[in-house]
Amino acid sequence: MDERSELNQSKTKAGEVSFGEPRFTAYPYVRQFSQSVLSAEAWFHTAEELIAAMDLVEPNVERFWEDVRSIAVAFDQTSEMPPKHQNSDAAPKDEKSDVAPKHSLINQHMMLAGFAIENLCKGYLAGGLSPEQQKKVQAGILPESLKDHDLLSLVEQTGMTVSDTEKYLLKRMTDVVIWRGRYPSPTSHKKTSPFTHIGSDIGQIKTLLQKLRRHVGAKDS
């Protein structure tokens, strides 16, 4: 090894950066890709991590709805007071003195739940790929069925029975997964539509996740 090679090698070790020719082929990455895609457990594990992240965000969402309910109760109580008390500056007795979180994180909570549902469904569907589709995955190509973000469609493809309430929830969650949880606007004004958040969404999401876990055979966290 000449002096220049030794110098370059020492620089690479020091900074762990090399601008020389790559010394690897794409094959190991294709193999890693196919192993992950075809492994239901890999999808399920990611789903559990997303659910864990969702759980961390949940207290903010719960606090938001508690504040909304408190305001509604305070408004009702004020509206029922005699006129001479309408302008009273006294705070409701049950009003909380601590400062509310700066962000409700409702969309982010729902987005994480939606991502978890995606992973649970795709883990199940990966196990049902045809031999031809499996060969394409082994060649580094992701099947179209695993590129979809339509949560209702994905859940229905697993064969799980979905109630009307769950359908409505999944449709709203799809909207959040695609853009509401990540961006201030969709890619086109034509994709903007009225959207509703519901106080019972937290419980409905938990129930739906538990139901889907059991259906696809994923272990509870």
Instruction: Report percent pLDDT > 70 for the chain.
Output: 76
Is 63 a domain residue? yes
Amino acid at site 193: S
The pLDDT assigned to 50 comes to 98
How many C-beta neighbours within 10 Å does residue 143 have? 18
DSSP for 134-172 reads HHHHHTT---GGGT---HHHHHHHTT----HHHHHHHHH
Which residue did the predictor score with more confidence, 108 or 219?
A: 108
Rg of the chain's alpha carbons, rounded to an integer? 25
- pLDDT tens digits for range 195-212: 888 989 999 999 999 999
Residue 24 has pLDDT above 70, yes or no: no
Please give the distance of CA 147 from its chain centroid, rounded to a whole number.
Answer: 15
- pLDDT tens digits for range 34-47: 999 999 999 999 99
The pTM of the full predicted model, rounded to 2 decimals, is: 0.76
Is 139 a domain residue? yes
Over range 90-101, report the average pLDDT: 52
Reduced to 3 DSSP states, what percent helix, strand and coil does the chain have, rounded to the nearest 5? 65, 0, 35
Q: Assign residue 191 the CATH number of its domain.
A: 1.20.120
Burial (CB < 10 A; 0-12, 13-18, 19+), residue 212, is buried
Residue in the block written with tokens 């969702």: 54
Which residue did the predictor score with more confidence, 89 or 77?
A: 77
The terminus-to-terminus CA distance of the chain in angstroms comes to: 54
- Residue 5 binned pLDDT confidence (cut-offs 50, 70, 90): low
Range of the domain at 120: 27-83+104-216
Please answer whether residues 120 and 215 qualify as being in contact, where contact means their C-beta atoms are separated by less than 8 angstroms: no
Average pLDDT score, the chain: 83
- pLDDT tens digits for range 28-81: 899 999 999 999 999 999 999 999 999 999 999 999 988 888 877 776 666 655
The pLDDT assigned to 219 comes to 80
Is 141 a domain residue? yes
How many C-beta neighbours within 10 Å does residue 85 have? 10
Domains contained in the chain, number: 1
Residue 108 has pLDDT above 70, yes or no: yes
Is 197 a domain residue? yes
The pLDDT assigned to 90 comes to 44
CA distances from 116 to 45, 123, 143, 191 (A): 10, 11, 19, 23
Over range 99-122, report the average pLDDT: 92
Is 9 a domain residue? no
Range of lowest pLDDT (51-55, 142-146, 155-159, 161-165) = 142-146
Range of lowest pLDDT (70-84, 96-110, 144-158, 178-192) = 70-84
Is 88 a domain residue? no
Which residue did the predictor score with more confidence, 10 or 112?
A: 112
**Residue 59 C-beta-side C-alpha neighbours within 13 Å:** 4
Is 89 a domain residue? no
Is 75 a domain residue? yes
